[in-house]
């Protein structure tokens, strides 16, 4: 195989054969295809796309580039969730212990920040001592003992995706339906699940900014999961504003703990409860999503979800004292409040830009070797439609890096528009996609 000719073929809109794709993936994992050529190929795919056959083959090759974990010896229907990425999206931290507290095992292999979006692993690693690098055997043991586990990709699970994921992050090749689909489904199918719930974001802060692209991605993911014999359901959710109030790593952990202890953050908990209800239903513990939502709500109210989270953190080496008393966590060096420029309501967020600014503070990576600053972040004090007065605080910026802090604080003020009302924000959850197609989502949140 000639890599330059394969790059040219895809660049010119040709369809790569299964043998050609197999050579590309194998050569890349074995260090026979350098990053610069893989980057060129990824950019060609970004612009030219892939056929359904290419996408299915690509996903299968990524999946089988490493080990496929067998959890059949662990009782229960194993169900995971995956989000396509958003700003302030800390759902997994609340969802996994909540669903596990309902009796459904949750094996979760998560990723790091990608582009302007945060990563579950980076959030978890802001907890002192928390280990996301468990071996496959440790992974199996924790899920058997605790009922949930949250780790990163091991060297054995989808190694092609692990390398390609980091490369896409820094080469501007993230927003591609075939690449996103292959990345997500190769990891999820390798982790030993029986069913999967997907949160596909749409809007300014999502990778798929149009509803049509988000629906196409959701349909592709559901089709791949269904063909693999896994019941797969996707929800289309809004990313017109950051999810919840906190954007960063430690600040998102704190907000997650507060929600597990019963705090009401409406948009965040609506998404969490709907996804959780679907997981509990697919896990055989409820007859409908609505019944599953009620069980999840009960797990929060009773404190079982919070206790399950603490159990999981302890089992993976994390310190729980700072979770129970967040004031014990080191404070950021710099804190500045952003003030409303006008009377009225919050009318618009530049959500994607806010995610980029959080990364520039140190909450994400601009290069693959950047070091995350756990304390860096942004705290929203208002959401879309909330009333504001001129001079009232609407957000707070936190960080340790003086060089970027003041610039980011100035830029953030331009990312939040306040003034006369401009209409009603669209629903947080717009539709559900499964093997039968797409339908509107109308079920209200459980109170």
Residues identified as active-site: 82, 161, 168, 183, 187
Instruction: Decide if 118 contacts 365 (C-beta within 8 A).
Output: no
40/221 Cα distance (integer angstroms)? 25
DSSP H or E run through 199: strand 195-202
User: What pairs with residue 416 in β-bridges?
Assistant: 349
| Contact partners, residue 126, CB within 8 Å, separation at least 6 | 249, 250, 253, 372, 374
d(CA 427, CA 251): 25
- How many H helices and E strands in the chain? 17, 14
Is 341 within 8 Å of 418 (Cβ atoms)? yes
In DSSP notation, 86-119 reads -TT--HHHHHHHHHHHTT--EEEE----BTTB--
Spatial CA neighbour of 357 closest among 248, 256, 229: 248
List C-alpha distances in Å: 394 to 266, 376, 384, 409, 437: 17, 18, 11, 12, 40
**CA-based angle 288:291:294, to the nearest 5?**
150
Token output for 291: 């019944």
Identify the three-state secondary structure at position 149.
strand
- DSSP-assigned letters across all residues of 333-375: SEEEEEE-SSSEEEEEE-HHHHHHHHIIIIIS-SSTTPPP-TT
Q: Which two tokens stand for residue 394?
A: 């609407």
320/130 Cα distance (integer angstroms): 10
Give the dihedral of Cα atoms 253, 258, 259, 264; nearest 10 deg. -130
Helices (H), 12-90: 18-29, 35-48, 52-63
- With beta carbons less than 8 A apart as the criterion, state whether 264 and 334 touch: no
Burial 226-252 (b: 16+ CB within 10 A, else e): eebebbbbbbbbbbbbbbbbbbbbbbb
């Amino acid at each position: 195989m000639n890599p330059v000719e394969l790059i040219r073929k895809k660049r010119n809109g040709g369809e790569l054969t299964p043998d050609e794709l197999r050579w590309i993936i194998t050569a890349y994992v074995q260090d026979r295809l350098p990053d610069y050529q893989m980057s060129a190929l990824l950019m060609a795919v970004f612009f030219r796309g892939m056929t359904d056959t290419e996408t299915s083959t690509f996903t299968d090759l990524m999946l089988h580039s490493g080990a496929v974990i067998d959890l059949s010896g662990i009782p229960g229907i194993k169900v995971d969730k995956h989000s396509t990425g958003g700003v302030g999206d800390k759902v997994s931290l609340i969802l996994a212990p909540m669903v596990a507290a309902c009796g459904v095992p949750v094996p979760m292999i998560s990723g790091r920040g990608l582009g302007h979006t945060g990563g579950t692993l980076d959030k978890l690693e802001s907890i002192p001592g928390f280990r996301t690098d468990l071996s496959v055997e440790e992974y199996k043991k924790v899920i058997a003992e605790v009922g949930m586990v949250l780790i990163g990709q091991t060297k054995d699970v989808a190694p092609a995706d692990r390398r390609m994921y980091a490369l896409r992050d820094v080469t501007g090749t993230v927003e591609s339906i075939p690449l996103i689909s292959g990345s997500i489904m190769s990891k999820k199918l390798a982790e030993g699940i029986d069913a999967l719930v997907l949160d596909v974001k749409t809007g300014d802060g999502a990778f798929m900014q149009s509803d049509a692209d988000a629906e196409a991605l959701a349909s592709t993911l559901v089709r791949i999961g269904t063909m693999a014999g896994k019941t797969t359901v996707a929800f289309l959710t809004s990313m017109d504003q950051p999810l919840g109030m906190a954007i960063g790593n430690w600040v998102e952990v704190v907000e997650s703990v507060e929600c597990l202890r019963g705090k009401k953050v409406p948009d965040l908990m609506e998404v969490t409860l709907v996804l959780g209800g679907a997981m509990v239903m697919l896990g055989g513990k409820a007859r409908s999503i609505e019944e599953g939502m009620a069980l999840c709500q009960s797990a929060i109210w009773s404190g079982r979800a919070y206790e399950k989270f603490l159990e999981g953190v302890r089992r993976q080496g994390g310190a729980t004292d700072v979770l129970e008393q967040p004031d014990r966590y080191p404070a950021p060096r710099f804190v500045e409040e952003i003030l409303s420029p006008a009377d009225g309501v919050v009318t618009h967020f530049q959500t994607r830009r806010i995610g980029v600014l959080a990364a520039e503070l140190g909450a994400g990576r601009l290069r693959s070797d950047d070091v995350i600053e756990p304390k860096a972040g942004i705290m929203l004090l208002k959401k879309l439609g909330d009333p504001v007065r001129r001079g009232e605080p609407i957000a707070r910026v936190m960080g340790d890096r003086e060089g970027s802090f003041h610039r980011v604080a100035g830029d953030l003020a331009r990312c939040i528009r306040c003034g006369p009302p401009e209409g009603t924000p669209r629903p947080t959850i717009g539709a559900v996609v499964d093997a039968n197609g797409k339908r509107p989502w109308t079920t209200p949140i459980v109170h």
